[in-house]
Structure 1
Amino acid sequence: MDDKKDLTLCPVATTVGLIGNKWKLLILRELLTGTKRFGELRNGITGISQKVLTQNLRSMEEDGIIERKIYAEVPPRVEYYLSDLGNTLRPIMNVMEEWGLDYLDRVSDDSKK
């Protein structure tokens, strides 16, 4: 979030504020499978620009959800991964995936009627 003082007393609003945009959820989806480099993230998220990916990665790092490791190599290599705090979002993402699959099944079944 832009400012910690924006955190509200509502826990749902807090969660939405931290991970509630489309790109952050897709970044989380990618990092749930393991550590990724910037290019891997960009290739795994259809439609995201370099600028938007960079902004969201910085925001998620500031919020403590992801961490990055910079290797002293030429060219420099940077890897992103979920922090311990970020890993606590895994059950939320799993439930979202289950719900999405169920929704797609229901919509598919409705269209066959």
Structure 2
Amino acid sequence: MMEDNNELFGKCPYFTAQKVFSGKWSILIIYHLSEGTLRYGELQRKMDNITQATLTKQLRMLEDYGLVSRKIYSEIPPKVEYSLTELGVDFIPVLEQFKVWGDKYIETINTKSHN
């Protein structure tokens, strides 16, 4: 009998990772923050096609999962910066492997389309 999905979170590493990175933009957000702390507007510009509502939702989700930290400065207008937490930084080697695999995959499909 299959376990209830909620029971798998925090027990099965594959299910847990899939759940944490289930947001369409999660990996790209982590990638941009891996290059350094960004203000909200800077991150949104780097993300290009993401709406403000979606970016806010994804950032909150990553913050809830403990991968992204939000720092609010009490100034007018308010300044908010996002950075990776220690858990987020721990994901960077995985992110680098995604790049290696992604480059290889792109090369493979481009080679096949030219044959």
TM-score normalised to the size of structure 1? 0.89
Query: How many correspondences in the alignment?
Result: 110
- 1:68–1:6 CA distance, 2 compared to 1 (3 A): farther
Q: 1:53 aligns with which of 48, 55, 77?
A: 55
Secondary structure in 1 matching 2:69: strand
Name the counterpart of 1:28. Answer: 30
Counterpart of 1:101? 103
Q: Report deviation, 1:101.
A: 0.5
What is residue 71 of structure 1 aligned with on the other side?
73
* Pairing 1:16–2:18 present: yes
Alpha-carbon distance, 1:40 to partner: 1.0
CA RMSD of superposed structures (Å): 1.6
- Structure 1: distance between partners of 2:33 and 2:8: 26
List runs of 5+ in structure 1 lacking aligned partners: none
% identical equivalent positions: 36
Shift of 1:20: 2.6
Find runs of 4+ consecutive structure 1 residues off by over 2 angstroms.
none
